[in-house]
Amino acid sequence: MIVEMKVPSPGESITEVEIATWLVSDGDYVDKDQAIAEVDSDKATLELPAEVSGTITLKAEEGEAVAVGQVVCLIDTSAAKPQGSAEVKTTEKTAVQTKVEPLGAASASNETTYATGTASPAAKKILSEKGIDPATVSGSGRDGRVTKEDAVNAVPSMGSSTEASDRDSSRTKLSMLRRKVAERLVQAKNETAMLTTFNEVDMSAIFEIRKKYKEQFKEKHDVGLGFMSFFTLATVRALKLFPAVNSMIDGQEMITYNFQDISIAVSGPKGLMVPVIRHAEKLSFRGVEEEVKRLAIRARDGQITVDEMTGGTFTISNGGVFGSMLSTPIINPPQSGILGMHNIVERPVAVNGKVEIRPIMYVALSYDHRIIDGRESVGFLVAVKEAIENPEAFLMNNDIKTALEL
């Protein structure tokens, strides 16, 4: 029996996906639930498992965009699982590699004809736009003709010639996820009145708490006491004080949420991903750290789902892990605000009329000025600052051990 495998729906709003990578070859035998392909949607990369066991016939190419519900492969369930298939494949591969071409084939491919170096009409147009002489382009078509693909890949000469190995370039198609991220970033810049306000935070208090309790916290909860829990809970508090920052524009209306779902920007193998910490307002330090760890691992391993990346009301981005000192983070639409964390550097600061060296982090809030005024944006960032500089009073109710569940 031949089973048609169709693209399942990764989410409500997704109508097409892209075949990122086939994990099997045409004609391979696959087992039920074996991962046969990785597919990119505009929100995540997901694995496509085989529905049944049998011999597979691929019906879509890598990089091809396919609609949800479209047939991408056929599986013949009547085929028996081959014995020693790995050995057979190795033998076949060796045989192909040792195949000798007829003597005439090699000599014929090197012959120069009237067509050698001649560009097709499409190639001529592209080369003309690039200002490249067709005679300088090596043709890969029949009899050495310059094809459209040759013209697209041709690079204009810049200055004196150098060794070819020093001037290599590569052309890689952007994944659907990367294209969607690019589209959303441009959308945020073009469709919002985005402004950024900055402040600096003295991290001394958090350093002292972590120094004193991080080992005990790790031993009891099997998760580290990092900076993200402090910043997430400080953000939750600030969003409650300034609800306009926890709002979104919908046409001519403003939607304000009475809950705080915090998106955290994570760098994964497929690019930027923004999983969501649900109901962060209900989580403790332990709960936030456990959720951050879980989502980061799933994003890194490419297992994050669409549902885990949708519905956030505010975003936190930590560029400090890459060494960034200062940046202007871009809003994650349709949200109206994003908090940027940066690296921590010891700096001289004035404290009670004296100069002291303190661990300082610059923080940035990018916001949509259409619904968030200067008072709310500055007030929000000041609220984050005061909670970080005095977490015992503002985040722990003056009881550190109870707050850390120790």
* Set 31, 33, 133, 369: catalytic member: 369
Selection from 234, 236, 231, 218 nearest residue 286 by Cα = 218
Are 75 and 30 in contact, with CB atoms under 8 Å apart? Answer: yes
Are 184 and 160 in contact, with CB atoms under 8 Å apart? Answer: no
> Which CA distances in Å does 59 have to 6, 64, 109, 110, 351?
10, 10, 32, 36, 69
* Active site (annotated) includes residue 369: yes
Pick the CATH number of 109-156 from 3.30.70.940, 3.40.50.150, 3.40.50.300, 4.10.320.10: 4.10.320.10
Q: What is the DSSP string of 181-223?
A: HHHHHHHHHHHS-EEEEEEEEE-HHHHHHHHHHHHHHHHHHSS
* Set 143, 150, 373, 399: catalytic member: 373
Q: What pTM was estimated for this model as a whole?
A: 0.65
* Active site (annotated) includes residue 222: no
Instruction: Say which CATH topology domain 193-403 has.
Output: Chloramphenicol Acetyltransferase (3.30.559)
- The predicted pLDDT at position 403 comes to 92
- The predicted pLDDT at position 102 comes to 47
| Structural domain spans, the chain | 2-79, 109-156, 193-403
- The predicted pLDDT at position 348 comes to 93
**Over the stretch 299-340, which tens digit does the pLDDT of each residue have?**
777 777 777 888 899 999 988 878 888 888 888 888 899 999
Residues in the chain where the model's pLDDT stays below 50: 86-109, 114, 160, 162, 164
- The predicted pLDDT at position 281 comes to 93
- The predicted pLDDT at position 105 comes to 42
CATH assignment, 2-79: 2.40.50.100
**Cis omega before residue 134 (within 30°)?**
no
Let me know if the fold of 109-156 is the same as that of 193-403.
no
